[in-house]
């Protein structure tokens, strides 16, 4: 695995900006972690199906609507009128 390139790609996928120094620092550490996780390879579990939590369809939320008590815009710093401000598209 080309660590540097891979890490850069993963950072762009997860929108993380890291400095050159951080890249250098993380490279070995991340390689080490992934190598440790490779331990999972030593098991072949093709016929096991993972069990996940289940819930019956009757036990879901009733379809009732209500307005929020608080105006969430009060928790937003960047806004214009009633719109929330985001960065430009291109």
**Where does this chain bind other proteins (CB under 8 A)?**
6-7, 10-18, 22, 25-26, 29-30, 32-34, 36-41, 43, 45, 48-58, 60-68, 70, 72-73, 75-78, 80-90
CA 26 – CA 34 distance, rounded (Å): 12
Minimum distance of other proteins from residue 2's CB (angstroms): 13
Minimum distance of other proteins from residue 30's CB (angstroms): 6
Distance of CA 3 to the CA centre of its chain: 20
CA 6 – CA 23 distance, rounded (Å): 11
CA 77 – CA 72 distance, rounded (Å): 11
Minimum distance of other proteins from residue 9's CB (angstroms): 9
């Amino acid at each position: 695995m080309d660590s540097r390139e891979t890490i850069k790609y993963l950072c762009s996928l997860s929108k993380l900006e890291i400095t050159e120094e951080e890249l250098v620092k993380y490279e070995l550490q991340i390689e080490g972690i992934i190598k440790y996780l490779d331990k999972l390879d030593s098991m072949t579990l093709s016929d096991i199906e993972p069990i996940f939590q289940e819930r019956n369809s009757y036990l879901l939320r009733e379809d009732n609507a209500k307005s929020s008590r608080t105006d969430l815009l009060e928790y937003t710093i960047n806004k214009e009128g009633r719109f929330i401000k985001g960065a430009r598209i291109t």
